[in-house]
Amino acid sequence: MSDDLELKEQGDLPEREVEAVDTEEFPDEDEAYYASASLLIHNYLQSEKGHEIAKQVLDLIKDIKRSTLDRNVEQDKANAEQARLREERLHRFYGWVLVSQNIVFALTIVTASILTYMGKFDSTLAVLFGTLVGYFFGRKTSSKDD
């Protein structure tokens, strides 16, 4: 390198020819194949037949999406109807429970009054009536699912 500096200072440095070397490596055979295949597909899609095929594929995808959404809407409607019917049945059931509680309570009071008036009301009947009334009024009648 010092020789080059000395020659340069003296002006006797010969000009060297620099070869242009392409640093880009050549693609492998597989990469070249895929590049040409993608180019062929691109060119085919640019043609009228390719354009029609692309439109048909997109229409097919839209139809699948639409049918999926329609099926979900129908399923949601069915679920809402089932929930409504379930709530209606629960409402009817708890209505009957309240009616039966009122009937048992009224019958117990009337029966206890009649038996007391007749002098036949003793402690055994009192425990029986108390248990019966306690059973009906002790039952859980709320619609919450705990």
Which pLDDT does position 63 carry in this prediction?
82
**Residue 105 burial by Cβ neighbours in a 10 Å radius (0-12, 13-18, 19+):** middle
**Rounded to an integer, what is the distance from CA 120 to the centroid of its chain?**
66
CA pair distance 96, 104, nearest whole angstrom: 12
CA pair distance 71, 85, nearest whole angstrom: 21
- Assessment of whether the complete model's pTM goes beyond 0.75: no
In terms of average pLDDT, the best of 9-13, 89-93, 133-137 is 89-93
Considering the chain, what is the average pLDDT of its residues?
76
Contact 112, 69 (CB under 8 A): no
Residues 14-67 have pLDDT tens digits of: 555 444 444 455 555 555 555 577 777 777 778 888 878 888 888 888 888 887
